[in-house]
Amino acid sequence: MDHLNLSEKLRLYAEAFEKALECMLIADENRRVIAVNPEFERVTGYMLSEVLGKRPGFLDSGNHSLRFYRGIWRSVRDTGSWQGEIQSKRKNGELYSEWLSISQLHENGHIYYLAVFSDITHRKDYERTLYALANYDTLTGLPNRNLFSEILEKEVAEAGRKNEKVGLLIIDVDRFKSVVMTLGHTTADELLIDIVHRIRTCLRRHDVLARLGGDEFAVILPGLTESREASSIAREILAAMSHVFTSRNYERYVTLSIGIAVYPETGIDAKFLHKNADTAAYKAKTGGRNQFRMFGFDMHTATLEQLLLEDSLRAALARKEFKLYYQPIVNTNSGKLTRVEALLRWDHPDLGIIAPDYFIHLAEETGLIFQIGEWVIREACSQFRAWNKGGILMPNVSVNVSAVQLRKMNLFSIVAGAIRENSMKPFELDLEITESFAMQNMELSLGFLEDLGGLGVGLSIDDFGSGYSSLAYLKRLPIQRLKIDRSFIKDMPDDRDSNAIADAIVAMAHSLELGVIAEGVESARQMEYLKGIHCDELQGFYFARLRRRTKLSSQNFPDRSERLWPLHLDPLRPTLN
């Protein structure tokens, strides 16, 4: 700039002022406007002629106190500048958020003020949207599991300081799956909203109701003086359910199973409080439903067993106790193998083979799911390579992915690395995600799934029909297949409701150009019915049954007839047509 003379510098400064993408306002020592740039006029709606000589109070939103503005000018006076977020008002009365900087200027013995700001309204709206998606349930508007955990930890910590009690109710809607099957997802969602309204009528103003997922809710009861207060509220909630729910779409009675734990008596921190309330809810459900149970010392045995299992789980990876078994999936019409699903089992040295239903939730709670999930993906891909090197041309291997894994940002790199290390084509790996995660975390899961789909791997929705799918959301997911939940297959073809649900799922999937896999097929009659409704692929014990005592070994191929699997399986049916 030194090569420019004064007039050239002034022209350059004036042009920068005029073309700046941020709003600028210059005021004199009395804080009266002497200049604004075009961006200021565009954002605020005020022309220079309208504000010339005025103080900037015309931008006041009314949402800040006089003390707030005095603090701004005190900072400018004492330090020469101030910056921060502020809400202002456009000429048309619309409020907007801005990031404002005010600087004090000195020129020829005079004081001037330069205000520079940007309209950040859209960014603030986006942040609020992201926060809502991450922390609130889209159906009920209640805090979700993520926000619930934060609130519970905060309330427990506060109660510890005040020497108070915090009650926690875990609430399960009894037999809700049958509600979904008989009324449909839309009406079931309406019923859930009605249930939420009734629960709210029983709560105090400062109690927190949250939806943890599906038909599971939680109530945080801060500031209790006696544990029996939690029991009293649970009793009120059960009584509120005793009247029939009616609408133009349904008339139905609903019962709940409620588990209660109280800090500090039956939960020394938020984690144990939640675990113990869960245990009590399970006891209420298995004890006959439509009741509440307080967590008590009689339940400690089960909790201690769970803790011992957790300790064993931490050592299981190092001890190589996890095994993968592979169940075939076949084409309905030809009977030919189309893919295999990797099934995780824990070969516990004392307890024997443990199915994932008994330990995956522990793995998710403790964070071990990330190590276990990575091992499963890499092991399945390694086995796929071993088959192909051994002359067995396997079409595809399918792996279940935990909802917790999907939230971890490095899942993409793990999958890409496993494919690359084993010289696989991306479409030779299929990832299965649960319907509940995909639907309840739509905006979050969509980004993850689009990234994985962009890699070229196949994507399937597992246990379809057991969650609460929206057709509009389903169309947005980059998936190729739906797997009909086994609960709808087990009573086929004798149960009309199960048949109708399977028919509807197949028809809907085909209309969306998605493939359909029926899991849990155990009889020829089930197979024939599914073939009749044009289900694409089948999976279940009818085709290959796992022998519980068989151990996995990638090199253990006793004879040619069993080389298809790295473990002994009952032979495949020779034909399905």
Q: Are 229 and 144 in contact (CB under 8 A)?
A: no
Return the DSSP state at 571. Answer: P
Average pLDDT over residues 242-263: 87
Contacts with 500 (C-beta within 8 Å, 6 or more apart), sequence order: none
Question: 427-431, 438-442, 481-485, 547-551: which range is least confident on average?
Answer: 547-551
Looking at this protein, which amino acid is placed at residue 242? Answer: S
Average pLDDT over residues 278-302: 79
Task: Specify the pLDDT at position 191.
Answer: 92
Task: Specify the pLDDT at position 34.
Answer: 93
Task: Specify the pLDDT at position 302.
Answer: 54
Average pLDDT over residues 340-360: 83
pLDDT digits (tens, 9 = 90+) for 103-114: 999 888 889 999
pLDDT band at 253 (very low <50, low <70, confident <90, very high): confident
Q: Are 214 and 174 in contact (CB under 8 A)?
A: no
Q: Could you give the dihedral angle defined by the CA atoms of residues 82, 83, 85 and 87, in that order, rounded to the nearest 10 degrees?
A: 50
Residue 311 has pLDDT above 60, yes or no: yes
Domain extent listing, the chain: 6-119, 134-295, 306-562
Q: Are 292 and 239 in contact (CB under 8 A)?
A: no
Question: 96-105, 189-198, 417-426, 448-457: which range is least confident on average?
Answer: 448-457
Average pLDDT over residues 372-388: 91
Pairing mode, strands 537-539 and 322-331: antiparallel
Question: 147 is written with which tokens?
Answer: 């926000």
Q: Are 330 and 538 in contact (CB under 8 A)?
A: yes
Query: For residue 264, is the peptide bond before it cis, meaning its omega torsion is within 30 degrees of 0?
Result: yes
Task: Specify the pLDDT at position 3.
Answer: 58
Question: 560 is written with which tokens?
Answer: 């040619």
Average pLDDT over residues 299-316: 66
Task: Specify the pLDDT at position 9.
Answer: 66
Q: What is the mean pLDDT of the chain?
A: 83
Q: Tell me which CATH homologous superfamily contains domain 306-562.
A: EAL domain (3.20.20.450)
Average pLDDT over residues 360-382: 86
Task: Specify the pLDDT at position 557.
Answer: 27
Task: Specify the pLDDT at position 536.
Answer: 93
Ramachandran sector of residue 175 (left: φ over 0; alpha: ψ -120 to 50; beta: rest): left
pLDDT digits (tens, 9 = 90+) for 513-536: 889 999 889 888 999 999 999 999
Segment holding 270, helix H or strand E: helix 270-286
Q: Are 362 and 310 in contact (CB under 8 A)?
A: yes
pLDDT band at 220 (very low <50, low <70, confident <90, very high): very high
The whole-angstrom separation of Cα 211 and Cα 503 is 31
Q: What is the pTM of this model?
A: 0.48
pLDDT band at 508 (very low <50, low <70, confident <90, very high): confident
Residue 49 has pLDDT above 50, yes or no: yes
pLDDT band at 441 (very low <50, low <70, confident <90, very high): low
Task: Specify the pLDDT at position 439.
Answer: 59
Segment holding 199, helix H or strand E: helix 185-200
Write out the CATH class of domain 6-119: alpha beta
Task: Specify the pLDDT at position 212.
Answer: 93
- Of all residues in the chain, the percent with pLDDT exceeding 90 is 41
Task: Specify the pLDDT at position 88.
Answer: 94
Selection from 248-262, 287-301, 557-571 with the highest mean pLDDT: 248-262
Task: Specify the pLDDT at position 517.
Answer: 93
Query: In this structure, is the dihedral angle defined by the CA atoms of residues 19, 25, 28 and 33, taken in order, positive or negative?
Result: positive
Task: Specify the pLDDT at position 573.
Answer: 33
Task: Specify the pLDDT at position 547.
Answer: 43
Task: Specify the pLDDT at position 447.
Answer: 72
For the chain, the helix, strand and coil percentages under 3-state DSSP, each to the nearest 5: 45, 25, 30
The CATH architecture assigned to 134-295 reads: 2-Layer Sandwich (3.30)
Return the DSSP state at 572. Answer: P
- Of all residues in the chain, the percent with pLDDT exceeding 70 is 86
The whole-angstrom separation of Cα 369 and Cα 384 is 22
Per-residue CA distances from 203 to 158, 169, 198, 221, 439 (Å):
20, 11, 9, 9, 28
Residue 61 has pLDDT above 60, yes or no: yes
Task: Specify the pLDDT at position 553.
Answer: 31
pLDDT band at 15 (very low <50, low <70, confident <90, very high): confident
Residue 300 has pLDDT above 80, yes or no: no
Residues in the chain: 577
Task: Specify the pLDDT at position 577.
Answer: 29
Return the DSSP state at 550. Answer: P
Residue 36 has pLDDT above 50, yes or no: yes
